[in-house]
Amino acid sequence: MNAGVYTSAGIIVLVEVWAAIRAELSGRELVAQISFGAFFGLLVVIMNVVLR
């Protein structure tokens, strides 16, 4: 895999973390927001593997 895919996945996670912090989420909401970001980042990597 190339660095672009990992960079894209990492950026998605960072944006979700930043959005959660900026929205002043706490507790479960914060964990849910970050989890969705990690999930979408992982989907980018999975799509790259599947489509190769």
Q: What whole-number distance in Å separates Cα of residue 27 and Cα of residue 52?
A: 38
Structural domains counted in the chain: 1
Query: pLDDT value at position 28?
Result: 92
- Give the residues of the chain that fall short of pLDDT 50: none
| Domain encompassing residue 29 | 3-51
Burial class (CB in 10 A: 0-12, 13-18, 19+), 4: exposed
pTM of the model: 0.76
Query: pLDDT value at position 2?
Result: 83
